[in-house]
Structure formats: C-alpha cells, structure tokens
Amino acid sequence: DPSPAFRSVTAFAPATIANLGPGFDFLGCAVDGVGDTVTVAVDPTVPAGTLSISSISKLSRDPLWNCAGIAGIAAMRALDVRSVGLSLHLEKGLPLGSGLGSSAASAAAAAVAVNGIFGGRLSLGELVIAGLESEKKISGYHADNIAPSIMGGFILIRSYDPLELLRLEFPAGQDLYFVLVSPEFEAPTKKMRAALPPEVEMKDHVHNSSQAAALVAAVMQGDVRGLGLAMSSDGIVEPRRVPLIPGMAGVKKAAIEAGAFGCTISGSGPTAVAVIDGEEKGKEIGDRMVEAFLREGGLKASATVARLDRVGARVI
C-alpha cells in the first residue's frame, strides 16, 4: 500500500492514429499537440482505496463506466492502493467518436496521473494494461490506441496473449507530419467494426500482410513516401468503412492529388489522415481535404497538421 508522493498530479495524453491503413488492431502512433488532460488528487472525502470523478463534461461521472475512471481504478489496483481515496478531473481535448483515440487518451492520462501520485512505480507495460481495462469495456480489447498514447511514437502489438508491444523508432531528425481532417459526422466504433467482413480471402490476407510489413519497414527507415504508400493500401478494412463516411473516397483522392504521400481513415473514423514531410504543404493538403468533405459529402470539417508525438502520456 504505497504512500502518496504528491497531493495532486496532472497528466496529458496525446491523440492517436490506429490501424494506419493495413495495421488493423496491431499498429498505431501518437500525434503531438492534441489530447486529453487529467488531474488526480488525494481526496479525504473519497473512501480509501476508491476513486471518484469530481468533474467532467458530456460523459458519465460513474468511474465504473467512464474510460478515465476505469483506467484510474485499474492503476490503483496495480499499485495496491488501499489507504487513500482519489478524485479525478478530466478535460477533454478530443471530440468523441473522432477516430483519434479519444477514450484511450482519457484512459492513458488517468493511469499516468494515478501512477504519478505514487511516484511513478508502474512500468509502461503495466500502464498499458491498466488502460486496456478501459478500452475493453468502452470500445473493445485492442491496444493500437492506448499503447501509443502511453508510450509515444509508433507501436506494434506483436501479441495480445500475452501482451507484447514493440516500439518502432522513426529516425530522429526526420520530419513527419499528419494532416488530420475531422468532419462534423459521428462514426461510432461499434458500428464501424460491425461493417467488417467475417472472413478474409487468402489473396487479401497476403496483400494486407505485405502492406503492413512495408509500413513497418518505412517507419524504421524514415521513408515517409513509402509509409504513405503502404498506409493507403488497405484492402480489407478501409473498403468496408469508406462508404459509411460521406465523401471519404473523394477526400482521399483530393489528398493524394494535392501532394500527400498517402491517406486513409484514422482508426474507425470519421477523421481522415494524410502524411507529408512538410508543415506548410500539410496545411495546403488539409485545405483541399476540407473542401472535398464539403463538396463530396456535404460535411463541414476542420483540419489540423500535427507532428509525430515521440513522448506519449506524461505528467505535466
């Protein structure tokens, strides 16, 4: 039963891009500048060994049904906290159902904040497992959002049973920008997963496996063009989901024509993500993608250009 090292800790966790095209449920990366913030404090009014949510907007304050609460409780359990109670405040920086790992960012920030209160005793792997407790209850048992949100950079989930995570190091000093274009449209994760085929043909399996391998190679080599090409080549998941997001096919085409190295759906959508190696060029591509969403799908959208987040969730 550890003693608190601090009375209050605030943690930030970045948004994430899951799947990256052909890496369904086993590849993801973190993006800089956007995410969720959680403050956890020792609270004498909260029963020892438990956690309460003091304030939040638009979401349940029941810690057993809130992604931050579930992950925070899982971190407390991993630490064997029994003598103090904690209260949690969540500030959402990410829209719900955006395809940018909104639930994972809340869970990651909560787990890291709870861990920080007690001096940072948990490993990155233990923090991911705490976050997975939340993902399992909220959106499904997949780590391609929670792992990169906690660990930063590109993460490959090599195995789920047992959980084995591999960090893919994108070369330092090389520029990589993500153009994130989010339309005013909701794409619930459950609905988007329900659209997936129950079986996959051998030729499609071979194609996607080769593209995922090419994507991993491109990340390790710092090959942004190769990364974009592989990211754009999903032949299993993306074709089923594109028709469910108005204008997405036209948005992908517009991104490529504007100079993006690749474009796909971020997570389960509806955010579209393109990759490029320059910020100014990224802004131009974002403008074309926003126009395409309105023209092709009748949807208003906003664009953000973000770098790869190499740090992950951190106490701030």
Residues that are catalytic: 135, 189
Alpha-carbon distance of 70 to 65, in angstroms, equals 7
Residue in 178, 181, 182, 183 with CA at minimum distance from that of residue 261: 178
Please count the other Cβ atoms lying within 10 Å of the Cβ belonging to residue 257: 11
By DSSP bridging, strand 86-91 and strand 51-55 are parallel
C-alpha span between 116 and 282 (Å, rounded): 36
Q: Which amino acid is at 184?
A: E
Beta strands at 27-42 and 154-160: parallel, antiparallel or unpaired: antiparallel
Burial class (CB in 10 A: 0-12, 13-18, 19+), 274: buried
Q: Are the C-beta atoms of 265 and 277 separated by less than 8 Å?
A: no
